[in-house]
Amino acid sequence: MTNKSTPHHVAIVMDGNGRWASRRFLPRIAGHKQGVDALKRCARACDARGIKVLTVFAFSSENWQRPQEEVSGLMDLFALALGREVPQLKADGVQLRFIGERQGLSSRVLKGIELAESATAANQQLVLNVCFNYGGRWDIVQAAARVAAQGLAMTEQSLSQMMALAHVPDPDLVIRTGGEQRISNFLLWQSAYSEFFFSDKLWPDFDEAELDLAIQTYGQRDRRFGKVSGQRDAVSLPTGSN
């Protein structure tokens, strides 16, 4: 089911796992485990709604500063979830891509990433970009370094082509769960003209009804891209020419 107000690319800051667990007097990692299930449900729901690209923020470059126990728990969970979920994702036509700095990740995690990407590379149904050890500033810097290393002119286009999400169009809709209204170093470059939807639901509680509310809200927005409402491309002649 697709209609014209369905976003092509949805990006999500999956926030609130720790609070979900704390409210139940559980260790934070229990919330992260629930978060994996929420992501599986969300990917299926996005696919069912005709969304073609889903990008999720799973671990930021700043999340290393959490207590060592949580960081190692997250790394274990990530490696485990990869091993467990890839066959089903492959069967569902999901193309998995991992976005972020790979240096500093353990060989176990790296191996999981490489296997998951190669096993699903030919899939076309839904592209699932998992931002892991990712930061928007890191992305801009690595892209600029690659532009410079290749001796290219520094332009918006050359930089865009070197960004970690160059294989997909910019996100139409960015959702953040967990109640905070900030970007926390997520897609700084790519979200220039995205619509934002902030949900008070904690990520493990994010469900189809909330996804539908986000999509419905998105459908009511007037995306102007700097133009005026209802303006057609043919009208945008250079100043002074009409």
Does residue number 58 form part of the binding site for ligand IPE (CB under 6 A)? Answer: yes
Does residue number 59 form part of the binding site for ligand IPE (CB under 6 A)? Answer: yes
- Cβ 199 vs Cβ 36: under 8 Å: no
Q: Which is nearer to Mg ion, 62 or 114 (CB)?
A: 62
What is residue 11's three-state secondary structure?
Answer: strand
Does residue number 15 form part of the binding site for Mg ion (CB under 5 A)? Answer: yes
Is 15 part of the annotated catalytic residue set?
Answer: yes
Sorted by sequence, the CB contacts under 8 Å of residue 6 that are 6+ apart come out as 49, 50, 51, 215, 219
Does residue number 11 form part of the binding site for ligand IPE (CB under 6 A)? Answer: no
Whole-number minimum distance, CB 22 to ligand IPE, in Å?
A: 7
Convert residues 193-232 into a mask of x (bound to ligand IPE by CB under 6 A) and - (unbound).
----------------------------------------
Helices (H), 96-155: 107-120, 136-149
Phi, psi (5° rounding) for residue 154?
Answer: -85, 100
C-alpha 55/C-alpha 187 separation (Å) is 10
Return the range that interacts with ligand IPE (CB under 6 A); candidates 12-20, 80-88, 110-118, 155-163.
12-20
Interaction partner, residue 59 (ligand IPE, Mg ion, none; CB < 5-8 Å by kind): ligand IPE
Does residue number 172 form part of the binding site for Mg ion (CB under 5 A)? Answer: no
Which residue in the shown chain puts its C-beta closest to Mg ion? 15
Is 63 part of the annotated catalytic residue set?
Answer: yes
C-alpha 163/C-alpha 171 separation (Å) is 14
Sorted by sequence, the CB contacts under 8 Å of residue 80 that are 6+ apart come out as none
Whole-number minimum distance, CB 196 to ligand IPE, in Å?
A: 14
C-alpha 55/C-alpha 41 separation (Å) is 14
In 3D, which of 66, 100, 67, 60 has the Cα closest to residue 183?
60
Does residue number 16 form part of the binding site for ligand IPE (CB under 6 A)? Answer: yes
Q: Which of 15, 139, 170, 172 is catalytic?
A: 15
Whole-number minimum distance, CB 43 to ligand IPE, in Å?
A: 16
Cα distances from 113 to residues 99, 134, 161, 207, 214, in angstroms, run 10, 14, 22, 27, 30
Q: Which of 17, 37, 63, 170 is catalytic?
A: 63
Q: Which is nearer to Mg ion, 74 or 94 (CB)?
A: 74
Long-range contacts (CB closer than 8 Å, 24 or more residues apart) made by 235-238: none
C-alpha 98/C-alpha 186 separation (Å) is 14
Q: Which is nearer to ligand IPE, 60 or 129 (CB)?
A: 60
Q: Which residues are catalytic?
A: 15, 63
Binding site for Mg ion (CB under 5 A): 15
Binding site for ligand IPE (CB under 6 A): 13-19, 57-60, 63, 74, 178, 180, 182, 184
